[in-house]
Amino acid sequence: MKDEKPGEKPDREKILTVMSPLKRRLYLFMGFLSVVIGVLGIILPILDTTPFMLFAAFCFARSSPKWHRWLLNHPIFGAYIRAFRDKRGLTVKQKWQIACTTTLMLSVTAFFGPASHGLWIALPIWLACMAYLSLSRTASSESPQELSN
Protein backbone atom coordinates (compact mmCIF):
# COMPACT_ATOMS: atom_id res chain seq x y z
CA MET A 1 0.00 0.00 0.00
CA LYS A 2 1.07 3.61 -0.55
CA ASP A 3 2.57 5.45 2.39
CA GLU A 4 2.25 2.41 4.64
CA LYS A 5 4.45 2.53 7.69
CA PRO A 6 6.29 -0.58 8.94
CA GLY A 7 4.11 -2.62 11.27
CA GLU A 8 0.96 -0.83 10.11
CA LYS A 9 -1.99 -2.96 9.01
CA PRO A 10 -3.26 -2.68 5.41
CA ASP A 11 -6.55 -0.82 4.89
CA ARG A 12 -8.69 -3.99 4.68
CA GLU A 13 -7.36 -5.30 7.99
CA LYS A 14 -7.89 -1.88 9.61
CA ILE A 15 -11.53 -1.95 8.53
CA LEU A 16 -11.99 -5.48 9.87
CA THR A 17 -10.59 -4.53 13.27
CA VAL A 18 -12.95 -1.53 13.49
CA MET A 19 -16.00 -3.60 12.50
CA SER A 20 -17.90 -5.12 15.41
CA PRO A 21 -17.29 -8.84 16.01
CA LEU A 22 -21.02 -9.52 15.67
CA LYS A 23 -21.13 -7.86 12.25
CA ARG A 24 -18.05 -9.81 11.09
CA ARG A 25 -19.62 -13.09 12.24
CA LEU A 26 -22.86 -12.22 10.45
CA TYR A 27 -20.98 -11.51 7.20
CA LEU A 28 -19.00 -14.74 7.63
CA PHE A 29 -22.18 -16.76 8.27
CA MET A 30 -23.91 -15.20 5.24
CA GLY A 31 -20.84 -15.96 3.13
CA PHE A 32 -20.84 -19.64 4.07
CA LEU A 33 -24.61 -19.85 3.61
CA SER A 34 -24.25 -18.34 0.13
CA VAL A 35 -21.53 -20.84 -0.78
CA VAL A 36 -23.75 -23.74 0.34
CA ILE A 37 -26.74 -22.42 -1.63
CA GLY A 38 -24.49 -21.75 -4.62
CA VAL A 39 -23.16 -25.30 -4.57
CA LEU A 40 -26.74 -26.59 -4.34
CA GLY A 41 -27.49 -24.41 -7.36
CA ILE A 42 -25.12 -26.54 -9.41
CA ILE A 43 -27.53 -29.48 -9.18
CA LEU A 44 -30.89 -27.77 -8.57
CA PRO A 45 -32.48 -26.06 -11.58
CA ILE A 46 -34.30 -23.45 -9.48
CA LEU A 47 -31.10 -21.91 -8.05
CA ASP A 48 -28.44 -20.04 -9.99
CA THR A 49 -24.93 -20.51 -8.62
CA THR A 50 -23.26 -17.29 -9.77
CA PRO A 51 -25.21 -14.68 -7.74
CA PHE A 52 -24.72 -16.70 -4.56
CA MET A 53 -20.97 -17.00 -5.15
CA LEU A 54 -20.72 -13.27 -5.88
CA PHE A 55 -22.60 -12.53 -2.66
CA ALA A 56 -20.31 -14.93 -0.77
CA ALA A 57 -17.27 -13.05 -2.13
CA PHE A 58 -18.86 -9.78 -0.98
CA CYS A 59 -19.47 -11.18 2.52
CA PHE A 60 -16.04 -12.77 2.83
CA ALA A 61 -14.36 -9.53 1.70
CA ARG A 62 -15.97 -7.88 4.72
CA SER A 63 -15.36 -10.65 7.23
CA SER A 64 -12.40 -12.89 6.44
CA PRO A 65 -9.43 -12.26 4.13
CA LYS A 66 -8.64 -15.99 4.35
CA TRP A 67 -12.02 -17.15 3.00
CA HIS A 68 -12.16 -14.31 0.48
CA ARG A 69 -8.78 -15.43 -0.92
CA TRP A 70 -9.99 -19.06 -0.96
CA LEU A 71 -13.07 -18.15 -3.00
CA LEU A 72 -11.14 -15.92 -5.44
CA ASN A 73 -8.59 -18.68 -6.01
CA HIS A 74 -11.15 -21.50 -6.27
CA PRO A 75 -10.54 -23.52 -9.46
CA ILE A 76 -14.21 -23.43 -10.52
CA PHE A 77 -15.73 -20.22 -9.13
CA GLY A 78 -12.66 -17.98 -8.88
CA ALA A 79 -12.38 -16.97 -12.55
CA TYR A 80 -16.03 -15.87 -12.72
CA ILE A 81 -15.79 -13.86 -9.50
CA ARG A 82 -12.51 -12.18 -10.50
CA ALA A 83 -13.91 -11.29 -13.94
CA PHE A 84 -16.98 -9.74 -12.32
CA ARG A 85 -14.91 -7.91 -9.68
CA ASP A 86 -12.49 -6.51 -12.25
CA LYS A 87 -15.34 -5.59 -14.64
CA ARG A 88 -13.70 -7.54 -17.46
CA GLY A 89 -16.82 -9.45 -18.38
CA LEU A 90 -17.15 -13.10 -19.26
CA THR A 91 -15.43 -14.77 -22.19
CA VAL A 92 -17.52 -16.05 -25.09
CA LYS A 93 -16.84 -19.61 -23.91
CA GLN A 94 -18.07 -18.80 -20.39
CA LYS A 95 -21.18 -17.12 -21.80
CA TRP A 96 -21.95 -20.20 -23.91
CA GLN A 97 -21.46 -22.48 -20.91
CA ILE A 98 -23.83 -20.36 -18.82
CA ALA A 99 -26.37 -20.11 -21.66
CA CYS A 100 -26.38 -23.87 -22.27
CA THR A 101 -26.60 -24.76 -18.59
CA THR A 102 -29.36 -22.21 -17.97
CA THR A 103 -31.31 -23.41 -21.01
CA LEU A 104 -31.00 -27.04 -19.93
CA MET A 105 -32.00 -26.41 -16.31
CA LEU A 106 -34.91 -24.12 -17.18
CA SER A 107 -36.11 -26.61 -19.80
CA VAL A 108 -36.22 -29.23 -17.06
CA THR A 109 -38.16 -26.76 -14.88
CA ALA A 110 -40.61 -26.01 -17.70
CA PHE A 111 -41.11 -29.68 -18.54
CA PHE A 112 -41.45 -31.04 -15.00
CA GLY A 113 -43.08 -28.00 -13.42
CA PRO A 114 -46.81 -27.75 -12.78
CA ALA A 115 -48.84 -28.16 -16.00
CA SER A 116 -48.94 -24.60 -17.31
CA HIS A 117 -46.99 -22.78 -14.60
CA GLY A 118 -43.60 -24.39 -15.30
CA LEU A 119 -43.25 -22.72 -18.68
CA TRP A 120 -44.51 -19.35 -17.44
CA ILE A 121 -42.02 -19.44 -14.58
CA ALA A 122 -39.03 -20.61 -16.64
CA LEU A 123 -39.55 -18.48 -19.77
CA PRO A 124 -39.11 -14.99 -18.23
CA ILE A 125 -36.11 -16.18 -16.21
CA TRP A 126 -34.54 -17.64 -19.36
CA LEU A 127 -35.23 -14.47 -21.36
CA ALA A 128 -33.69 -12.29 -18.63
CA CYS A 129 -30.58 -14.50 -18.45
CA MET A 130 -30.13 -14.51 -22.22
CA ALA A 131 -30.63 -10.73 -22.38
CA TYR A 132 -28.03 -10.22 -19.66
CA LEU A 133 -25.52 -12.48 -21.40
CA SER A 134 -26.14 -10.75 -24.74
CA LEU A 135 -25.87 -7.22 -23.39
CA SER A 136 -23.06 -7.67 -20.85
CA ARG A 137 -19.42 -6.97 -21.61
CA THR A 138 -17.47 -9.76 -23.27
CA ALA A 139 -13.87 -10.30 -22.21
CA SER A 140 -11.06 -11.36 -24.47
CA SER A 141 -10.88 -15.03 -25.37
CA GLU A 142 -8.04 -15.73 -22.95
CA SER A 143 -8.46 -18.63 -20.58
CA PRO A 144 -9.65 -17.91 -17.00
CA GLN A 145 -6.16 -18.84 -15.74
CA GLU A 146 -4.60 -16.19 -17.99
CA LEU A 147 -7.24 -13.68 -16.88
CA SER A 148 -6.24 -14.16 -13.26
CA ASN A 149 -2.71 -12.87 -13.88
Query: In the predicted model, what is the mean pLDDT of residues 92-103?
Result: 84
What integer is the mean pLDDT of 115-141? 80
Across 105-114, average pLDDT: 77
Give the C-alpha distances (Å, rounded to integers) separating 90 from 1, 6, 23, 47. 29, 39, 32, 20
Q: Are residues 112 and 82 in the same domain?
A: no
Mean pLDDT of 60-69: 93
End residue of a domain, out of 34, 53, 86: 86
> Which structural domain, as residue segments, surrounds residue 104?
89-149
Q: What global pTM score does this model have?
A: 0.60
Q: Do 99 and 28 share a structural domain? A: no
Name which of 148, 142, 44, 42 is nearest 92 in CA terms. Answer: 142
Instruction: Give the confidence band of 125 by pLDDT, cuts at 50, 70, 90.
Output: confident
Same domain assignment for residues 6 and 20? yes
Domain count across the chain: 2
What number of other Cβ atoms are within 10 A of residue 34's Cβ?
A: 21
Same domain for 149 and 114: yes
Q: How confident is the model at residue 149 (pLDDT cuts 50, 70, 90)?
A: very low
> Comparing C-alpha atoms, which of 70, 73, 31, 88 is closest to residue 54?
31
Please indicate, yes or no, whether residues 26 and 78 belong to a single structural domain of this protein: yes
pLDDT for 148 equals 44
